[in-house]
């Protein structure tokens, strides 16, 4: 089982608007699904539970003999996230540290605040860890859902852009890649989250 396959199957469930898989590709640690407005949340929850069970997973929200309990979006998602960062604080570093324990992303502000996130093996996992570390510094919890990341070249100038969903907000940011791509992605994420 891969996280991408699980995510794709969850997105095929009628009424599921978005799905995010946390953890590494082979052993997901968490699954978050957002339902479309106006759907029968209990029916969709039962179908999501069936997909999880088909992948050998079970919801912590459900007992084997009962369907998954469902909360509505207003109960789960605050109207908007509340950042803890200072207005004049900026992202100053993103470092990728590899060791015996795996890959770690460390993000730091110019004020010296630091956030670390483990990066699971596999495509896109480093990006997820960068976004997670930067959003922690920005005070946005839970980690926003990555909707799109785009790398483009404009007349020899590389730019990375990101679109994320944080609560009910869809946010976008871009940065010129003037150092490493992880730092540029971190700056793009920081720019997107500044509007909260």
Asked which of 43, 75, 107 is the last residue of a domain, the reply is: 75
Q: Give the per-residue pLDDT at 83.
A: 43
Residues 71 and 95 in one domain: no
Query: What pLDDT is recorded for position 80?
Result: 45
Report the sign of the C-alpha dihedral through residues 61, 137, 36, 74, in that order: positive
DSSP element (H, E) containing 162: strand 157-166
40-68: average pLDDT: 66
pLDDT, average across residues 31-35: 74
Q: What are phi and psi of 159, to 5 degrees?
A: -135, 135
State how many domains the chain has: 2
Are 95 and 183 part of one and the same domain?
A: yes
Is pLDDT larger for residue 78 or for residue 171? Answer: 171
Lookup result for tokens 């609560």: 167
In a domain, 142, yes or no: yes
Q: What dihedral do alpha carbons 170, 21, 174, 104 form, nearest 10°?
A: 140
Query: Are 64 and 121 members of one domain?
Result: no
Q: Please name which of 85, 92, 74 lies closest in space to residue 195, comparing C-alpha atoms.
A: 85
CATH number, position 170: 3.30.160
**pTM of the predicted model as reported, rounded to 2 decimal places:** 0.57
C-beta separation of 3 from 21 below 8 A: yes
Alpha-carbon distance of 47 to 128, in angstroms, equals 27
* Residue 59 in tokens: 């919801």
Q: Assign residue 19 the CATH number of its domain.
A: 3.30.300
* Boundary-marking domain end, from 48, 75, 102: 75
Give the rounded percent of residues in the chain with a pLDDT score beyond 70.
75
Instruction: Please indicate, yes or no, whether residues 67 and 119 belong to a single structural domain of this protein.
Output: no
**Taking residues 38-42, what's their average pLDDT?**
77
- Residue 148, CA distances (Å) to 29, 61, 114, 154, 174 in order: 22, 29, 25, 19, 12
Q: Are residues 163 and 111 in the same domain?
A: yes
pLDDT at 66: 46
pLDDT of amino acid 38: 78
* Poorest-pLDDT segment among 56-70, 143-157, 174-188: 56-70
Domain boundary among 23, 47, 75: 75
- pLDDT of 24 reads 58
Which one has a higher pLDDT value, 160 or 26? 160
Same domain, 60 and 12: yes
In a domain, 47, yes or no: yes
Pairing of strands 28-35, 16-23: antiparallel
Q: 178 versus 27: which is more confidently predicted? A: 178
Q: How many whole angstroms separate alpha carbon 33 and alpha carbon 121? A: 23
Query: Could you report the per-residue pLDDT of 70-116, keeping only the tens digit for each?
Result: 444 344 434 444 444 445 789 999 999 888 878 899 999 999 999 99
**Domain range spanning residue 98?**
91-193
Give the model's pLDDT for residue 64. Answer: 46
Please report the pLDDT score of residue 74 as a whole number: 41
Residue 81 lies in a domain: no
| 28 confidence band (pLDDT: 50, 70, 90) | low
On the question of pLDDT at 182 being above 50, the answer is yes
């Amino acid at each position: 089982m891969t996280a991408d396959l699980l995510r794709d199957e969850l997105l095929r469930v009628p009424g599921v608007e978005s799905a995010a898989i946390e953890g590494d590709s082979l052993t997901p640690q968490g699954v978050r699904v957002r339902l479309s407005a106006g759907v029968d949340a209990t029916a969709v929850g039962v179908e999501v539970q069936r997909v999880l069970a088909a992948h050998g997973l079970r919801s912590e929200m459900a007992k084997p003999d009962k369907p998954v309990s469902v909360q509505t979006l207003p109960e789960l998602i605050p109207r908007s996230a509340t950042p803890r960062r200072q207005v004049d604080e900026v992202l100053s570093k993103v470092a990728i540290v590899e060791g015996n324990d795996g890959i770690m992303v460390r993000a730091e502000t110019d004020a010296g605040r630091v956030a670390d996130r483990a990066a699971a093996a596999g495509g896109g996992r480093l990006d997820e860890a960068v976004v997670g570390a930067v959003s922690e510094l920005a005070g946005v919890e839970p980690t926003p859902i990555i909707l799109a990341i785009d790398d483009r070249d404009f007349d020899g100038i590389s730019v990375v852009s990101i679109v994320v969903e944080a609560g009910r907000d869809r946010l976008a940011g871009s940065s010129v890649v003037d150092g490493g791509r992880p730092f540029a992605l971190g700056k793009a994420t920081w720019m997107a989250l500044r509007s909260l």
